[in-house]
Amino acid sequence: MNEKMLQEKYDKLSQKYFDLKDELNAIMESTPDIIYSVDKNGNFLSVNSVFLKTFNLTKPDIIGKNIKDLKKQGIYQETVCLIAAEEKKPVTLTQEIQGTNYLISAYPMITKINKNSTSPKEEVVNYVVTKIRNLSELEEIKGELDSVKKVSQNYYNELKVLRNRTSNTKDIIAQSVEMKRIIDLAKRVALVDTTVVINGDSGTGKEVIAKLIHNTSSRKNGPFIKINCGAIPENLLESELFGYEKGAFTGAGAKGKAGLFEIANKGSLLLDEIGDMPLALQVKLLRVLQEGEFYPVGAVKPIQSDVRIIASTNRNLKDLVEKGKFREDLYYRLNVIKLLIPPLRERKEDIIPLVYFFLNKYNEKYKFNKTIDSDIIDILYNGYYKGNVRELENTVERLVVTSTENNISTKCLPGSVLNQLGYENTVNRQNISNLKETVDRFEYDLIMKAYENHNNDINKTAQSLNVHRTTILRKIKKFEEENSI
């Protein structure tokens, strides 16, 4: 290769170097963060203008100087870039610099070389790039985002109220696919005047679905009557359902009494806890369903019945039939359409919308204007509700009523609520000295449990807890740093 060709190659390499240098400078100047680079010994190679402006320095004051000089001047508490160079891995920590909190991250640029063909490659630090971010600015941005979030929530709540005014499903909050399917099925079933059995655990919303069926049906202008078959003694239940003639039994009213089948004429009758109905009354109920008529107690003439029967239960009617506690013919007569409402633990997507729905409900009822902190939302989302929607509603009402501040935060959370949500085995009351520490421990345990359940996948963990992945990482890191885990 002649001298001319060598010169041309040198010129190209030189131009590429300067182009890369200009590009790097442009990148460093395009960010609001402080950025600088040092060699492995801590000697400054480059700084951006934010660095110079922040520390009131000029390039001649810096370039060629050592990072330890800044430490001697009291600017740094610890030379993070030298730690990164020594450990040969990125290092991030927070420091107070001139009265301001900063997040400092140092990234070593490493090359692997072979000293000889037989030895393993050695890692050599070429230089270290350090980025410094003002945490107070991040807190201001977070505050602005929280304000925007509250405004958005208010708009969301107002839109929900407007929708609810024109919807038969105003009392049904459903985001889960399964609940939306059940609501759709209930609306379609409502158009056909047939019997329906609604099955589900206590508190899942069986009565709400029953009202939806009634309000969507052609009977919506008629009465909607409910009776709990398990809460009334057998001798009284018959007279409540079918009424009685005057003088039918000792203590009967002089004028007799109309039963619920008569009162509910042209409407709907919800027989709650149908599985607890005595066998003797099941026979009379079957006659009403088959013949469309019933006999009041002591009567000799039947009364025509035009009532839609909706039954609900938290028991397995098929099992009761096999045990001889429920009539098989009545079972098949009732079980024309069956709606199975899943417990809240199987439709966790509904929890957060329900929390805001109940928050609005009790704000309006008690003339409050309270908001709810995201940490409380996380705790409520991960609670175990044995009483399902009813228990969640009671929990939110209790928080609204008992919190002394307009923003319901973790410090407003009584131990009884934690017990109610299923944390009783986690809390050792004798060791609780600080509510925030206790709640942080709950939160950490919940996060790590979800992390384990999703095979250590941080994205799936964040998705299951309905928060951003950075929130998960931040909470884990904060807890482990504070507790030296």
Domains by residue range for the chain, with CATH:
18-135 (3.30.450.20), 177-342 (3.40.50.300), 346-483 (1.10.8.60)
Across residues 368-392, what is the average pLDDT? 87
Q: Quote the pLDDT of residue 427.
A: 44
Task: Assess whether pLDDT exceeds 90 at residue 279.
Answer: yes
Q: Is the dihedral of CA 172, 173, 178, 183 positive or negative?
A: positive
Average pLDDT, the chain: 81
Task: Assess whether pLDDT exceeds 80 at residue 79.
Answer: no
Q: Quote the pLDDT of residue 257.
A: 85
Mapped onto helix, strand or coil, the DSSP state of residue 446 is: helix
Contact, 307 vs 267, CB < 8 A? yes
H or E element: which one contains 279? Answer: helix 279-291
Q: Higher model confidence: residue 306 or residue 25?
A: 306
DSSP 293: E
pTM given for the model: 0.54
Half-sphere exposure of 357 (CA within 13 A, CB side): 21
Q: Quote the pLDDT of residue 154.
A: 60
Least confident of 210-214, 243-247, 285-289, 312-316: 243-247
Give backbone dihedrals phi and psi of 227, rounded to 5 degrees, phi first.
-140, 135
Confidence grade of residue 432 (pLDDT, cut at 50, 70, 90): very low
User: Taking Cα atoms as reference points, which of 186, 180, 242, 175 lies closest to residue 211?
Assistant: 186
Q: How deeply is 22 buried, as exposed, middle or buried, from its count of CB atoms within 10 A (0-12, 13-18, 19+)? A: exposed
Which residues make beta-bridge pairs with 372? 408
DSSP line for 409-445? -GGG--HHHHIIIIITTT--GGG---HHHHHHHHHHH
DSSP 121: P
Pick the most confident of 55-64, 194-203, 415-424, 438-447: 194-203
Q: Quote the pLDDT of residue 173.
A: 85
**Range list of β-strands (E), 135-267:** 196-200, 224-228, 243-244, 257-258
Q: Higher model confidence: residue 337 or residue 473?
A: 337
Q: Quote the pLDDT of residue 163.
A: 45
Contact, 40 vs 135, CB < 8 A? no
Q: Quote the pLDDT of residue 283.
A: 93
Q: Higher model confidence: residue 124 or residue 289?
A: 289
The rounded distance, in Å, linking the Cα atoms of 217 and 190 is 5
The rounded distance, in Å, linking the Cα atoms of 409 and 146 is 14
Give residue-wise pLDDT tens across range 232-249: 888 889 889 998 887 555
Give every CB contact of residue 363 below 8 A, 6+ residues apart in sequence.
369, 370, 400
Task: Assess whether pLDDT exceeds 90 at residue 179.
Answer: yes
Give residue-wise pLDDT tens across range 38-73: 888 888 888 888 888 887 888 888 887 888 887 777
Give residue-wise pLDDT tens across range 320-375: 999 999 999 999 999 899 999 999 999 999 999 999 999 999 999 999 999 988 88
Provide, for the chain, the percentages of residues in helix, strand and coil under a 3-state DSSP scheme, each rounded to the nearest 5.
Answer: 50, 20, 30
Least confident of 285-294, 408-417, 458-467: 408-417
Across residues 253-260, what is the average pLDDT? 77
Across residues 259-280, what is the average pLDDT? 94
Task: Assess whether pLDDT exceeds 60 at residue 162.
Answer: no
Give every CB contact of residue 445 below 8 A, 6+ residues apart in sequence.
426
For 54, the token pair is 């922040």
For 116, the token pair is 């000889």
Task: Assess whether pLDDT exceeds 70 at residue 180.
Answer: yes
Confidence grade of residue 156 (pLDDT, cut at 50, 70, 90): low
DSSP 297: B
Strands 196-200, 337-341: pairing is parallel
